[in-house]
Amino acid sequence: MGRRTQPEIRERLLDACTDHALAHGLPDRLGPLARGTGTSARMLIYHFGTRDALLRAVLGRARQRQLDTFGDLLRARPGEDYPATLRQAWAAMTGPAGRPFLRMFGQLQRSSDLWPDFRRIATTDWLEPLAAGLRTIGREELATLLLAVIRGLLMDLDATADTTRADQAFHQFLTMLDPAPAP
């Protein structure tokens, strides 16, 4: 009689592997994940089936964490102008808490074998929160443009590590969202 899987162990391993991958990037082999989580490659295969299945699960968990975190940052807040919300969101997304996600998903952008639809999904899932926030200032039609600016600057930041220039460009773009002063 075979041993029954234990979902709580699988979930604990998935969380630990996700933490490790966010801190160190997606590994090419199971060894780094096994060592980083205090288990064996054999146990990872037992719970996830294959290396690719484990990495897809890690990517899915990391993506959900990113959606939860960044989604909260992008949500319009009562009494706060949406450009101010976006400034704070940008600082958090490009700061220490956001960098692991940017590093991991930047790595995935360059090689999408594990998640072929990632680029499409990573674009469309941010449109609604941005449109909802922009709706609060009467600029909903700019959601696609804002997303393109954010994604482009994040790719620029990933390629150059020039935080100052990317920050300045983002803040300059946000000035176009601020309502013009009344004459």
Average pLDDT over residues 53-67: 92
DSSP conformational letter for 142: G
Q: Which domain holds residue 51?
A: 7-175
Backbone angles phi and psi of 93, in degrees to 5: -65, -35
Give the separation between CA 116 and CA 11, rounded to whole angstroms: 24
Structural domain contains residue 182: no
pTM: 0.81
- Token pair 């039609």 in the structure block, residue: 141
Structural domain contains residue 181: no
pLDDT of residue 1: 45
Q: Which residues contact 92 (CB under 8 A, 6 or more apart)?
A: 69, 70, 73, 98
**Domain total of the chain:** 1
pLDDT > 70 in the chain, percent: 92
On whether residue 25 sits in a domain, the answer given is yes
- For residue 2, being part of any structural domain is answered with no
> Which of 80, 73, 85, 97 lies closest to 23, judged by CA?
97
Nearest to 52 by CA among 82, 80, 89, 26: 26
CATH assignment of the domain containing 150: 1.10.357.10
pLDDT of residue 111: 59
User: What is the per-residue pLDDT for 40?
Assistant: 94
pLDDT by residue (tens digit) across 90-148? Answer: 999 999 989 898 888 877 666 567 777 777 777 788 899 999 999 999 999 999 999 99
Residue 49 lies in a domain: yes
